[in-house]
Amino acid sequence: MTIDITKVPIHLGPGGTASAVDDFDWSEERLAAYERATRADGADGRMVMMFHVVGAWTTWERHPLGAEVVVACTGVHRFTQELDDGEHVIELSAGQALVNAPGVWHTADSGDEGGWIMTITPGLDTEHRPR
């Protein structure tokens, strides 16, 4: 089976499981349904998704239950992590990756041309705040 990762996330679960997240969208209802369906996986569950991003994110986010991997597939992206000693900026271009440690607030700017990123994210209990 082929999965269009730009439209259908893949959930990675304990024991090496992987399954498509069918009928997914970014609505509050669908995100809540995803969390309910995968809550038993706890900190071991991950959502894999690919996004085309343009410009600045409008929010900060953090993932208290685990580390997030971000891979730049195309374009140039500037990620800002809020650390104890201040903001840390990391620039990624195609083929480069970063890790957002558990609980670290982060945001990004992808410029006017944007580009594709792939994320491997702990889906449960993700928090957002305005930028």
- Domain map (residue ranges) of the chain: 10-130
Tens of pLDDT, residue by residue over 61-109, are: 999 999 999 999 999 999 999 999 999 999 999 999 999 999 999 999 9
The stretch 48-64 carries a mean pLDDT of 96
Residues 6+ apart with CB under 8 A from 71: 92, 95, 96, 97, 117, 118, 119
pTM of the model: 0.92
Tens of pLDDT, residue by residue over 6-46, are: 999 999 999 999 999 998 888 889 988 998 999 999 889 99
**CATH node for 10-130:** 2.60.120.10
